[in-house]
């Protein structure tokens, strides 16, 4: 297993300001962390550094950061989970060096694209995402923040090679342990999260369904400018499939989303069960993907 290495000296890396400015790739992650491009001084390798200032976060936040390191170590076994190459821990900060996925994330791709993604591409993205999700679920890990911003692109679309990232909110679901957590992004979070009910592995499956809706339509089904209205939309399952958005989308795709976006977590399929859905296993869309790739 290609495990990450603990960096003993942070001077081994430097912030790649020129490349960072060119690609606008420095961003804040809440109050405690930011992501910047950095370059290893000896190897020249460029990575995305998640930098957490310890003085800004409490013991619980620090514990979740160390848990994220453990989960990313586990993720090395799956090709569709972002790779952590090194990490650094000091009294002042924690730095995670992650693979630099050069082509951004799915949210920005869809948001700025002039055309929506065709179903065959969405299906391939979804298959890869579900491989990552089924893997972490097999380890009793629930991600709790699956959204387009956390699905990175290693290759330019229509080539498909995605990596699920940001395990900062992830939790281990241990036997007979009940976990409640107000975590994640409201318009992608499941009702049980917003209602502070026990979370399940299928809490992630709801989020996957909402991601599919966004990838196919360019719109988030529950989002509202008012956070309160977003909460209500999710908790009351206020979702529609209007003709102006879905006239060119197959009935199989709509049926798939409806299977995943169920209010009761026990009514949702597991990540493994999703692979047996007629839409994901459709040879029509698989053949279309192969044709696009060969062309």
Q: Which residue of the set 16, 145, 187, 204 is catalytic?
A: 145
DSSP 141: E
For the record, the structure tokens of 64 come out as 């979740």
Q: How far apart are CA 143 and CA 242, in angstroms?
A: 30
Q: Report residue 241 CA to chain centroid gap.
A: 24
Average pLDDT for consecutive 10-residue bins of the chain (295 residues)?
Answer: 50 46 38 73 81 73 83 93 90 87 94 94 98 98 97 95 94 89 93 96 99 98 95 97 96 98 98 97 61 51
CA distance linking residue 189 with residue 212, whole number of Å: 14
Cβ neighbors of 57 (< 8 A, separation 6 or more) are 31, 32, 65
Beta strands in 77-219 (DSSP E): 84-89, 93-99, 141-142, 151-153, 162-164, 171-172
The reported pLDDT for the residue numbered 93 is 84
Q: How many helices (H) and strands (E) does the chain have?
A: 11, 11
Closest C-alpha to 265, from 193, 213, 212, 211 = 193
Give all domains of the chain, ordered by start, each with its CATH number. Answer: 5-99 (3.30.200.20), 106-290 (1.10.510.10)
- The pLDDT, as a whole number, for residue 289 is 54
Residue 261 burial (10 A CB sphere; 0-12, 13-18, 19+): buried
**pLDDT for residue 122:** 98
Prediction pTM value: 0.86
Most distant pair of Cα atoms in the chain: their distance: 57
| 243 catalytically annotated | no
């Amino acid at each position: 297993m290609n495990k990450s290495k603990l960096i003993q000296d942070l001077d081994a890396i430097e912030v790649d300001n020129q490349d960072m400015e060119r690609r606008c790739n420095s961003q804040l992650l809440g109050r405690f962390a930011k992501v910047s491009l950095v370059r290893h001084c000896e190897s020249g390798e460029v990575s995305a550094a998640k930098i957490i200032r310890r003085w800004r976060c409490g013991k619980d936040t620090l514990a979740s950061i160390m848990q994220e390191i453990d989960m990313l170590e586990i993720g090395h076994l799956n090709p569709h989970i972002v790779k952590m190459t090194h990490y650094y821990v000091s009294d002042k900060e924690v730095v995670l060096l992650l693979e630099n996925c050069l082509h951004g994330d799915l949210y920005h791709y869809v948001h700025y694209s002039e055309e929506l993604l065709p179903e065959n591409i969405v299906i391939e993205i979804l298959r890869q995402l579900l491989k990552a999700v089924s893997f972490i679920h097999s380890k009793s890990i629930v991600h709790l923040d699956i959204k387009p911003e956390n699905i990175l692109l290693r290759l330019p679309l229509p080539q498909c090679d995605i990596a699920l990232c940001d395990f900062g909110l992830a939790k281990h679901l241990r036997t007979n342990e009940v976990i409640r957590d107000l975590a994640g992004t409201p318009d992608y979070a499941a009702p049980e999260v917003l209602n502070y009910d026990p979370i399940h592995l299928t809490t992630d499956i709801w989020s996957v369904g909402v991601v599919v809706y966004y990838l196919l339509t360019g719109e988030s089904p529950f989002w509202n400018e008012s956070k309160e209205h977003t909460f209500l939309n999710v908790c009351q399952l206020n979702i529609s499939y209007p003709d102006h958005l879905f006239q060119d989308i197959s009935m199989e795709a709509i049926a798939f989303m409806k299977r995943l976006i169920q209010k009761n977590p026990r009514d949702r399929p597991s990540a493994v069960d999703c692979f047996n859905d007629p839409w994901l296993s459709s040879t029509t869309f698989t053949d279309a993907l192969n044709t696009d790739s060969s062309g």
